[in-house]
Structure formats: C-alpha cells, structure tokens
Amino acid sequence: VLLVESGGRLVQPGGSLRLSCAASGLTFGDFWMTWVRQAPGKGLEWVASIDQDGGETHYVDSVKGRFTISRDNMYNSLSLQMDRLRVEDTALYYCARAGSSGATSLAYWGQGTLVAVSS
C-alpha cells in the first residue's frame, strides 16, 4: 500500500488549498479514508474521514464548514478542499487508510504534505 499526498504550500490566511492523496496497492473503494494533521512540534489531530462511496463524512469541529473531504474511486484518489484557511491550520497533513467497516484504526499512512498559512 502506498499513499502519496500532494498540494501543500504556503498560502495566506483566508485562502484556499486542495490537497490530494494518490493511493496504490489496495482496492481503494473498499476502505474508509482519513486525513490527520500535525502542527509543527505538536501531536496528531484527526481532521476528517469519508466512507467508501463518499456518502458519509465526519469532521473535527474546528474545520466544519471550511474543509471538504472527497474521493474518486475511479482514480484511487482522496482530496481535502480547504477554504477560509487560518494560521492555526498550519500543519503536516497525512492521508491514512482506515478500515472497511468504519473509520477504524489507521493501518497505512502517507508521508504527509505541508500546509503553511501565513501572511
């Protein structure tokens, strides 16, 4: 299983960014997928999860209404659309594979993509 994140960069507060995660080595459509972030020098924070067909999504309160998780099973791709970005969204964003029966433990992780929000 290989998960490769991309799309991270420096962006101004209030701006938008779209992160992507390319998955290979798995039957992508069989699993829930999750985004987890880690601010510099801080711990892990669960951000969002999505079920196999995109019909069920969950978000941490701090990003609700600003971030949107989505997936394209035809292209084995996971996305995170990030709008109205804040300084506190600065972090390394990881894509992770959850289970087939729910947003379970995260058995596979990418190496992360860095988002920096600053003026």
We find the least distance from the C-beta atom of residue 74 to another protein, in angstroms, to be: 26
Q: Is 103 in the site for another protein (CB under 8 A)?
A: yes
Report how far apart the first and last C-alpha atoms of the chain are (Å, whole number): 37
Compute how many residues bind another protein; rule: CB under 8 A.
23
Q: Is 78 in the site for another protein (CB under 8 A)?
A: no
**Which residues, numbered 2-21, are part of the site for another protein (CB under 8 A)?**
none
Distance CA 79, CA 59 (A): 14
Among 94, 113, 115, 117, binds another protein (CB under 8 A): 94
The window from 7-15, 39-47, 72-80, 82-90 that contacts another protein (CB under 8 A) reads 39-47
We find the least distance from the C-beta atom of residue 102 to another protein, in angstroms, to be: 7
State the pairing for strand pair 113-117/2-6. Answer: unpaired
Distance CA 85, CA 89 (A): 6
Strand ranges (E), 9-90? 10-11, 17-24, 33-38, 44-50, 57-59, 67-72, 77-82
Residue 3: phi, psi to the nearest 5?
-120, 125
The window from 16-24, 67-75, 81-89, 99-107 that contacts another protein (CB under 8 A) reads 99-107
DSSP letter at 111 equals: -
Which residues of the shown chain bind another protein in the complex (CB under 8 A)?
Answer: 34, 36, 43-46, 49, 58-61, 94, 98, 102-107, 109-112
